[in-house]
């Protein structure tokens, strides 16, 4: 998949794949997110961040003040982010494609009152 960005405030969604049986460990890590990670999320302009999990599939949805690329650049430059990701390395099976892009979810249907659907 090619690099992409989102408009400021536009939601972006992607998935992670966990190693078999690692869902509870993933949940446990997220019940105790480091305060430094929360501060980094705020500093990166991410103001709406939600995570869902079904077995070994994790769905992440975010909205960032300046779009995905700006938020990603801010978090990628952080030693705290590198340490957080490393602390979960044994949990993840797949977090990106061969080019390092997130495993993007593409919208295939939407129904919004007053808007045209795809």
Q: List the catalytic residues.
A: 30
- Burial (0-12, 13-18, 19+ Cβ within 10 Å), 85: middle
Q: Which residue has the tokens 């659907």?
A: 117
**Nearest by Cα to 9 from 42, 38, 51, 48:** 48
């Amino acid at each position: 998949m090619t690099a992409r960005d989102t408009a400021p405030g536009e939601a972006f969604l992607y998935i992670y794949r966990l190693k078999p049986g690692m869902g509870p460990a993933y949940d446990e890590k997220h019940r105790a997110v480091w305060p430094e990670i929360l501060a980094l999320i705020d500093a990166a302009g991410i103001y709406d961040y939600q995570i869902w999990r079904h077995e070994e599939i994790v769905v992440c949805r975010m909205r960032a003040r300046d779009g995905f690329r700006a938020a990603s650049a801010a978090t990628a430059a952080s030693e705290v982010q590198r340490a957080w990701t490393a602390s979960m390395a044994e949990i993840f099976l797949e977090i990106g494609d061969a080019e390092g892009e997130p495993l993007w979810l593409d919208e295939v249907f939407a129904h919004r009152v007053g808007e045209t659907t795809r």
